[in-house]
Structure 1
Amino acid sequence: MSDHERSKSTAANADERLASALRENLFRRKAQARARAHSANAADMLSHNTVSDDRQSSDTESDMKG
């Protein structure tokens, strides 16, 4: 293999490694975004449930007083 062919092969390998690294990075970033969205949705649902529970308990207390 000549030096020219070897440098082309090395460049192709570098391009393949770069493409692979970019795909892995994109996959990781998407997974992180999904995890953040999931935890934000869970926290949002939890806060709605807490507010709802607080309202129910205050409604019950006012019914007991009246």
Structure 2
Amino acid sequence: MVRPPSSEDKRESMNRLKIAIVVLVGASAGLITFSGGGSLVQVVVAVGAGLVVGVVLLAYLVRIA
């Protein structure tokens, strides 16, 4: 029989979702820069900036939820 998820399972799933959101925003920034013809340095900077924006976005989403 399937049991309901425990609070630890829920917390672990939520942490994975949070990490996925941050990585998605960072990767998106890098891909947009790459498709625009950016150099490798520009792509790396865009991914770093995207990760920072992703963390800020996540903090905002957690705060309003």
Give the TM-score taking structure 1 as reference length: 0.45
Q: Which has the higher helix share?
A: 1
The structure that has the greater radius of gyration is 1
